[in-house]
């Protein structure tokens, strides 16, 4: 097998991506070729590949770490039939804490409690930490030096997201909140899209 045409190289790309255990960035995929075709050509081939797979049960996705094949969510009900155990369901406490960390990061446990209006149990934090979705990125420089939590790269990967900006946009409530004239949140329309800059 000696690839010559673009289609041949697409096969090589496809094979590498199907066999990879992690997302592959374009910079790595360029190494597949006899002669580096440059990032643009690789991206074009990847786009073609994505289109080739469009009506299949598997799709090519661009995630945080690069490109990766995954099964389409519509097919999960069939795949679940083969599974021994179901994926864990998380409580609202866990999900709300995750949402606050994701959209407001970096946040302390106190920040989370302030927003939720209830205390956040250590178990909730530990659930998210042991899943590898959040971790401590520093400490706020106030008495007690509380830990600052942020979401991890793994969180993005497992959600199939390239960056925090791809999180579902916050509901427009924020716009209404501007009307309330918040003392410490400057009004912005783009804050939903700008979570990573918060």
Restricting to residues 72-111, which ones interact with another protein according to CB under 8 A? 72-73, 75-76, 79-80, 83, 86-90, 92-93, 95-96, 98-100, 102-106
- Work out whether 85 is an interface residue with a second copy (CB under 8 A): yes
- Sequential DSSP letters for 18-38: HH-SS-B-HHHHGGGSSS--H
From 21, 40, 81, 144, residue interacting with another protein (rule: CB under 8 A):
21
- Work out whether 170 is an interface residue with a second copy (CB under 8 A): no
At residue 49, the 3 state secondary structure works out as helix
171 binds, among a second copy, another protein, none (CB under 5 to 8 A by kind): another protein
- Sequential DSSP letters for 135-156: EEEEE-SSTT-PEEEEE-HHHH
32 binds, among a second copy, another protein, none (CB under 5 to 8 A by kind): a second copy
Q: What are phi and psi of 58, to 5 degrees?
A: -125, 145
Stretch 41-70: interaction string toward a second copy, x if CB under 8 A: ---------------xxx----------xx
Instruction: Name the segment binding another protein (CB under 8 A); options: 4-12, 27-35, 42-50, 186-194.
Output: 186-194
Which CA distances in Å does 13 have to 37, 80, 110, 155, 170?
Answer: 13, 29, 47, 26, 36
């Amino acid at each position: 097998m000696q690839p010559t045409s673009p289609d041949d190289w697409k096969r090589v790309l496809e094979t590498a991506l199907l066999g990879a255990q992690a997302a592959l960035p374009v910079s790595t995929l360029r190494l597949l070729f006899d002669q580096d075709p440059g990032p643009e050509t690789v991206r074009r081939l990847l786009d073609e590949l994505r289109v080739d797979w469009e009506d299949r049960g598997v799709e090519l996705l661009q995630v945080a770490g690069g490109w990766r094949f995954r099964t389409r969510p519509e097919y999960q009900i069939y795949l679940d039939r083969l599974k021994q155990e179901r994926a864990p369901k998380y409580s609202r406490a866990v999900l709300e804490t995750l949402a606050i960390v994701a959209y407001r990061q970096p946040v302390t446990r106190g920040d989370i409690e302030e927003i939720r209006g209830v205390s956040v149990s250590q178990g909730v934090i530990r659930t998210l930490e042991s899943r590898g979705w959040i971790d401590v990125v520093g400490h706020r420089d106030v008495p007690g030096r509380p830990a600052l939590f942020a979401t991890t790269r793994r969180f993005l990967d497992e959600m199939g997201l390239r960056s925090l900006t791809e999180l579902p946009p916050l509901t427009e409530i924020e716009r209404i909140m501007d009307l309330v004239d918040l003392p410490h949140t400057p009004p912005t329309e783009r804050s939903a899209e700008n979570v990573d800059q918060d």
